[in-house]
Amino acid sequence: MLTESDSISLHSQPRQGECILLARNLVQDFGSKRVLDDINMQLNSGEVLAVVGGSGSGKSTLMRQLALLQVPTSGEIQVFGKNVSAMGEFRTLPLRRRMGVMFQHGALFGDLTVLENVSLPLREHTGLSLETVEQIAMLKIALAGLEPDAAALFPSQLSGGMRKRAAVARGIALDPEILFLDEPSSGLDPISADAMDDLVLHLKKTLGLTILMVTHDMDSLWRVADRVLLLADSRIAAEGTIHDLVESGNAVAQQFFHGPRGRAAGASHDQ
């Protein structure tokens, strides 16, 4: 007999463009400080949604809420048609398995090799044999653009770009439908940042992933994002395609996208 958890995991694939994640009236307070206030947004199947904003605007907090890693102070989140706001942690587990996360600094376990880090979700959430787990993990490592030799290395032996790729490999270990990326190109040199953009586009195309990406990289916005959500003063200040926001009369969008870095990125991609 199927349990409720089993029935959730036996899901049908959403249609391209279908809303698969919905937030209504999200609020996040930390003590007396309100970080997010009345956030309403959606994520559609097959798109790359970039969340941008100034430092402290609540970008990473919103990502953690949507990835079901942080319970909002109030508001509602629906994932794959399920209202998770009234569900306990155990009942949301099948939904969380359909999501993968790459944290800004990788969050890799320092005493585990890359192979062991990527294998960990498979060992925790499946009953597969160790041999099969390692075979799948090696496939994910390759999909993330790492050479096989990197599997035996520890995080301290990796470059910044390699650490991010290893974190991506762990994020896609369970074949998620939604991948959350927190500042994927942060701290990388321009060549490595371009390569990370290429990886995001490759994963979207080959795995059919829906991606929510927190970023401050203007070039990434132009190259990767289908839609942009701009946060300011704890609220959504603007949303739309990058072209929509750049050409809009929205004062916050004008200030954000028409600074020197924004103009330079836009000019390079209009060429």
CA distance 159 to 180: 21
Share of the chain above pLDDT 90, in %: 68
Transcribe 129-191 into DSSP letters. -HHHHHHHHHHHHHHTT--GGGGG--GGGS-HHHHHHHHHHHHTTT--SEEEEESTTTT--HH
Q: Which of 10-19, 125-134, 205-214 has the lowest mean pLDDT?
A: 10-19
Check residue 50 and give its pLDDT.
Answer: 96
Check residue 85 and give its pLDDT.
Answer: 81
For the question of whether the overall pTM of this predicted structure is more than 0.85, the answer is yes
Is 119 a residue whose pLDDT tops 50?
yes
CA distance 133 to 141: 12
pLDDT tens profile 165-183? 999 999 999 999 999 999 9
Check residue 264 and give its pLDDT.
Answer: 45
Check residue 11 and give its pLDDT.
Answer: 52
Is 235 a residue whose pLDDT tops 50?
yes
Mean pLDDT value across residues 56-73: 91
Contacts of 61 by beta carbon, 8 Å cutoff, 6+ apart: 28, 35, 36, 70
Check residue 107 and give its pLDDT.
Answer: 85
> For residues 130 and 116, is the Cβ–Cβ distance under 8 A?
no
Mean pLDDT value across residues 181-201: 91
